[in-house]
Amino acid sequence: MIVSLEYNEQLTGSISGTHFRVNYAPPLDIPGTGNATTVRQRVTKLDATSLIPGSSISDNDTNGDLVDDALELNALDSSGSLGPGPIFRLRYSCPDGQAIPGSSVSCVINQITDAGGLPHPQPQLISCTLELSPEP
Ligand SMILES: [Ca+2]
């Protein structure tokens, strides 16, 4: 799955960082939990000038049912702008041939910072989009 930031840079200016939370549901799965190596291995950075600290990546159980349902991480860009466009790829495990409804995934961003590293004044102009695709 490709996780992208969508915004009009002419309106918003550059984005220097944001926190992503990607919600998901079975049969999608990420092996391991929390900040495990097996979790970090599922994240591939796509924005060349950005940084995704491995220590920020975490697979979490948000509703206490003992099944992880949210992948969270921080993405930063100190040399340019974080997006607009693809930011990272997230690789899920799921049974072969099983259709995944788009409604089983969603993305939330917060803690968006502007070019100066301050909280962005217009976070409502910036959105996160998800594109499910088979493994290339
Ligand atoms: Ca997991």
Cα 34 to middle of ligand 1, angstroms: 7
Does residue 115 belong to any structural domain of this protein? yes
Cα 66 to middle of ligand 1, angstroms: 10
How many angstroms separate the CA atoms of 2 and 91, rounded? Answer: 9
Total domains in the fold of the chain: 1
Does residue 7 belong to any structural domain of this protein? yes
Cα 12 to middle of ligand 1, angstroms: 34
pLDDT in tens, 40-85: 999 999 999 999 999 999 999 999 999 999 999 999 998 889 999 9
**Contact between residue 80 and residue 48 where contact means Cβ atoms under 8 Å apart:** no
3-state secondary structure of 60: strand
Does residue 136 belong to any structural domain of this protein? no
Cα 36 to middle of ligand 1, angstroms: 9
CATH number of the domain to which 7 belongs: 2.60.40
Does residue 43 belong to any structural domain of this protein? yes
The residue range of the domain holding 83 is 2-131
pLDDT in tens, 110-136: 999 999 999 999 999 999 999 988 765
- Rounded mean pLDDT of 11-17? 96
Cα 118 to middle of ligand 1, angstroms: 32
